[in-house]
Structure 1
Amino acid sequence: MIDHAHDLASVHEATERLLTAVAALDNAAGARPSRLPGWTVGHVLAHIARNADALGNVLAGRPMYVSAEARDAEIERDAPRPLDVQIDDLRASHAGFRARAAEPADWTRTVELRNGVTDSASRVPFRRWAEVELHHVDLGIGYELEDLPAEFTEREIDFLADRFDGHREVPSTALRSDGGRTWTTGGGAPGDPVAVEGSAADLLGWLAGRRDGSALAVKGGTLPALPPL
């Protein structure tokens, strides 16, 4: 069962970690390349802030973004800002999301995200947690997949394994972490089952498109090529 209150507390903790890390950067850091192709550190910070606004919109029953074009334009607009402005925006957008989430609401209701995707309102805080944690890693400032909270890593693997379950381009795949956790995914593409083993961080990195999977052990075939998220 999803505990949205627990996840909201985790979002706050993750955001505080992010703010502390970003505050230690010099002002030139915003223009440096991030780990996301074509995006600077400033682009990633702008996206994290605007995503908080967007998920607040979702909780309020409004469209997540006005349009894909408007989303992209806002990120481009905000990316070049000085670091202190980025930090203030991250803090303010986080406060806005928390305030929206604190309003009395039916957390079992269905909400709409981007591109017609729907989900339970109770899962929105975890989606925000994922945005903060994974994009903190994407900044390339010393926070790695291995530094993520173990609970988050396992739950995000749960989420992504479920997302690719039955996908027509992904063969049946059994995942196993070196901690003994197992997952299954794929199954929509022809081919023999594939077993993939490795650390939880490496499994998450592969599923989330943050690592190429070269550190994973593969049995029964080749490492499946995953479609974009």
Structure 2
Amino acid sequence: MIDHAHDLAAVQNATDRLLSAVAALDNAAVARPSRLPGWTVGHVLSHLARNADALVNVLDGRPMYASAEARDSDIERDAPRPLDVQLEDLRSSHAAFRAQTEVPADWTRTVELRNGVTDTADRVPFRRWAEVELHHVDLGAGYELEDLPEEFTEREIDFLADRFLGSPDVPATRITDGTRAWRTGRQAPQTEVTVQGRPADLLGWLCGRRDGTALELSGGELPKLPPL
């Protein structure tokens, strides 16, 4: 069962860590390349702020973004801003998101995200948690996948394994950290590939942040995953 109140507390903690890390940067860092191809640190920060706005829209029953083009242009527009402006935008957009979550509502209702994807409202806080944690890593500011909360790493592996479950382009795959196990890919009578490794390396592969070379394989090659 999803506990949205628990996840909102986790979003707050993750955002506090992010804000502290951003406050320690300088203006030159905004133009520095991030770990995401083609994006600067400023792009990552502006995306995080605009994503908070977008999730306010989702919870309020409006389209997440006016269009894909508007989403991209807003990020490009905001990316070059000075660090203090970026930081204030992160704070204010987070505050608006939290305010929206405090509006009395049915958390079991269905909401619509991007590209026709739907989910229940109580899963939106976890989606925001994922945005904050993973993009904090993308800043390249000393926060690594190994630093993520254990609960988050396990749940995000579970989320991504489920996302690729049934994908015809991914062989039937067993994922394990030696203690826990997940299944993903095509449905088949037998698992074709087993991928084993540390939780941070498994998550890094699943979310496209690591190439999987640190993982152990049996039964085949490392599956190529669809883009997120």
Give the conservation status (yes or no) of the 8 Å contact 1:170–1:189.
no
Could you tell me which runs of 5 or more consecutive residues in structure 2 were left unpaired when the two chains were aligned: none
Give the conservation status (yes or no) of the 8 Å contact 1:170–1:188.
no
Q: Which residue of 1 aligns with 2:216?
A: 217
Q: Which residue of 1 aligns with 2:207?
A: 208
Structure 2 residue identity aligned to 1:147:
D
Correspondence list, 1:23-172, <5 A: 23-172=23-172
1:210 partner SS: coil
1:90 partner SS: helix
Q: Which residue of 2 aligns with 1:197?
A: 196
Give the conservation status (yes or no) of the 8 Å contact 2:42–2:79.
yes
RMSD: 1.2
Deviation at 1:192, TM superposition (A): 5.9
1:130 partner SS: helix
Within 2, Cα distance between the matches of 1:195 and 1:32?
38
Within 2, Cα distance between the matches of 1:70 and 1:188?
37
Structure 2 residue identity aligned to 1:132:
V
Structure 2 residue identity aligned to 1:63:
P
Deviations 1:154-213 (A, max 9, x none): 0000000000001010010001114x1110111258996100000000000000000000
Correspondence list, 1:10-25, <5 A: 10-25=10-25
1:62 partner SS: coil
Deviation at 1:34, TM superposition (A): 0.2
Within 2, Cα distance between the matches of 1:122 and 1:59?
10
Deviation at 1:26, TM superposition (A): 1.2
Give the conservation status (yes or no) of the 8 Å contact 1:192–1:221.
no
Structure 2 residue identity aligned to 1:86:
Q
How many pairs were matched up? 228
Within 2, Cα distance between the matches of 1:187 and 1:116?
23
Give the conservation status (yes or no) of the 8 Å contact 1:169–1:188.
no
Give the conservation status (yes or no) of the 8 Å contact 2:108–2:122.
yes
User: Is 2:28 the partner of 1:4?
Assistant: no
Give the conservation status (yes or no) of the 8 Å contact 2:174–2:191.
no
Give the TM-score taking structure 2 as reference length: 0.98
Within 2, Cα distance between the matches of 1:3 and 1:33?
36
Deviation at 1:65, TM superposition (A): 0.1
Within 2, Cα distance between the matches of 1:203 and 1:120?
26
Within 2, Cα distance between the matches of 1:192 and 1:7?
33
**Quick one: percent identity of the two aligned structures?**
76
Within 2, Cα distance between the matches of 1:112 and 1:148?
28
Could you tell me which runs of 5 or more consecutive residues in structure 1 were left unpaired when the two chains were aligned: none
Deviation at 1:27, TM superposition (A): 1.1
Within 2, Cα distance between the matches of 1:182 and 1:192?
12
Within 2, Cα distance between the matches of 1:110 and 1:53?
19
Within 2, Cα distance between the matches of 1:96 and 1:125?
13
Q: Which residue of 1 aligns with 2:180?
A: 181
Deviations 1:77-128 (A, max 9, x none): 0000000000000000000000000100000000000000000000000000
